[in-house]
Structure 1
Amino acid sequence: MSTLTSPQSELAPGACGCDKDDVCTLEDAVGQTSRGQTPFAETSSRSRVLEVATAPSRYAFEHFSRKLEFETDCSDVNSAFVSGAVDFVLLDVRSAQLYRNGHVPGAVSVPVLSISEERMMEFPLHTHFVVYCAGPHCNGANKAAIRLARLGRPVKEMIGGVTGWLDEGLTLEK
């Protein structure tokens, strides 16, 4: 956070700053100014959880809604398959060998490095994809999502990957 030289300092939209007394001013994207909250509470009176102030509800709504535009979870994917309401293609982007060793039921093996315009031509252009890899320790799903997005393909990541799937008590198939 930048330090304001005076309470009357001008802030650009989206900027935030604190004066010498840690009184903060936030200029939001529409030019409304909020002043007076300190972002860092005294640790003796507040938990570390609230050491940084909670975002206003409208920002929390925007943030979490945006996250869900990019990701889904294992439970929601499983529910879609169980109910028959599968409106996406689930891609296992790990190696073919790892796929053969065990994969999420209903997944198609498309290793991340094989994602290309030619490879994806087998799927209609507006197919929605959900990608997963080994788990939180693996960035293969993110790399696959980038490749698909570059090809203009709608994509989400199944957070947790295989690790998350198993943590939910779900089984893999071979």
Structure 2
Amino acid sequence: MSSAVTRTPAAASSDALAHFEALLAFETDCWDVHHAISNNRKDFILLDVRGEEAFQAGHLPESQNLPHPRINAESLKNFPEEQLIVVYCAGPHCNATEKAAIRLAKLGRPVKKMIGGVCGWLDEGFSLVEGVS
């Protein structure tokens, strides 16, 4: 008798390779973002796409707040068009990153989602900054 895990066979290794390599083109994680910030290697724009109140209560260092409904060509005019934008929100229970990423992609901007959001950041033991950055 098979388990629910093995009942559906795993993908072929070549398909798994393509899938997981593609994921890295769309996502980054808290550890990699923290490493970039901590080692003065942040070569991306870090965008907190939650509301202003949530941002002020606690956000990632070196992040900027732009709530996802406000993402448009005008609100992005001060960001270089070719620079990667990494978006994050509250965590896995929130889909603001997907909404933000869709808006950014429609505007032709390079974008990645930071998986885990604020919850993941805190789970890794990293600190938040309060107030306006």
- Normalising by structure 2, we get a TM-score of 0.94
Name the counterpart of 2:105. 149
Distance 1:48 1:109 in 2: 41
Structure 1 position 138, deviation (Å): 0.6
Name the counterpart of 2:114. 158
Q: Which amino acid aligns with 2:26?
A: F
Cα displacement string for residues 77-118 of structure 1 (whole angstroms, at most 9, x for unaligned residues): 001111111111000000111111110111111111111101
Name the counterpart of 1:49. 5
SS of the residue 2:75 aligns to: helix
SS of the residue 1:136 aligns to: coil
Equivalences for 1:6-17 in 2 at 5 Å? none
Equivalences for 1:6-155 in 2 at 5 Å? 43=1, 46-155=2-111
Distance 1:53 1:150 in 2: 35
| Runs of at least 5 residues in structure 1 that lack an aligned partner in the other structure | 1-42
Q: Which amino acid aligns with 2:12?
A: P
The structure in which a higher percent of residues are helix is: 2
| Runs of at least 5 residues in structure 2 that lack an aligned partner in the other structure | none
Structure 1 position 130, deviation (Å): 0.3
Cα displacement string for residues 45-91 of structure 1 (whole angstroms, at most 9, x for unaligned residues): x4432222121111110000111111111011001111111111000
Name the counterpart of 1:22. none
SS of the residue 1:98 aligns to: helix
Distance 1:93 1:103 in 2: 10
Identical pairs, percent: 51
Distance 1:168 1:162 in 2: 10
Q: Which amino acid aligns with 1:151?
A: L
SS of the residue 2:92 aligns to: coil
Distance 1:168 1:96 in 2: 24
